[in-house]
Amino acid sequence: MRAFYGTTLANPLMLGTAQYPSPAILEAAFRESGASVATVSLRREGADGAGQTFWSMIRDLGVHVLPNTAGCHTVKEAVTTAHMAREIFDTPWIKLELIGHTDSLQPEVFQLVEAATVLTEDGFQVFPYTTEDLIVGERLLAAGCEVLMPWGAPIGSGRGLNNPYALRAMRAEFPDVPLVVDAGIGLPSHAAQAMELGYDAVLLNTSVARAGDPVAMARAMMGAVEAGALAYQADPIEARDMAEASTPVIGKAFLT
């Protein structure tokens, strides 16, 4: 399994912490999923008792914490939020999210590269939420990022992988870079598909948190990422346009 800034994850599932019906369900879903990483928003960690209780629960899960810059629209916002998150969560990891389009929540890739450059120079280990554009990927790597997190589909849409061709091309273009499909996963089959393309992890939130049974869905996602990873490692057969008999005809009796 590929390392993320020198850290090898026990499970290729990264799980968000927002929108769960209750803290108890959030905790149960995490434990059932086996997720190795919890993404957290700075807004969830406040000075009040609720914020401290939330942070205590996340620490007790024993997972890696990936703070994010959710809701930021400018470089200044994102950089300021990242510095605050590093101080509060005591980690150099940061999921850099810089939104450029209100309806689709598509990343603002020009400012994303600028912010990534600033943060890596400040000692952050940046996980950039980006599109599947190869040129943007190259610019982010040149800015110092060692991980790329292209979207599968718009955040919270549950549409799965809108552009498998582009995601496959990104995997081929950057064979040695850890890649994570981030956003848009709605079903376990979507998560499995991402892993079957050779991606190293999947990050999701809404599909588990807002499911009718978040704990059961968390369990399903765990199985899906494991199955997809095993399928990729097994070197699956190529799709064919025509049938190919699976039973050999050599030695078959011919009746006249």
DSSP annotation of 197 reads T
Taken in order 84, 98, 145, 234, the sign of the CA dihedral is positive
Would residue 252 show up in a list of annotated catalytic residues for this protein? no
Q: How far apart are CA 113 and CA 68, in angstroms?
A: 16
In sequence order, the β-bridge partners of residue 38 are 15, 65
Q: How far apart are CA 167 and CA 229, in angstroms?
A: 16
Residue 127 near residue 96 (C-beta atoms within 8 A): yes
Q: How far apart are CA 148 and CA 122, in angstroms?
A: 19
Residue 58 near residue 64 (C-beta atoms within 8 A): no
In sequence order, the β-bridge partners of residue 15 are 38, 204
- Both tokens assigned to 220: 């399903």
The conformational region for residue 47 under phi > 0 = left, psi -120 to 50 = alpha, else beta, is alpha
Q: How far apart are CA 126 and CA 253, in angstroms?
A: 64
- Both tokens assigned to 202: 């999947």
DSSP, collapsed to helix, strand or coil, labels residue 103 as coil
Q: Pick the catalytic residue: 45, 69, 86, 95?
A: 95
Q: How far apart are CA 171 and CA 174, in angstroms?
A: 5
Q: Which residues are catalytic?
A: 95
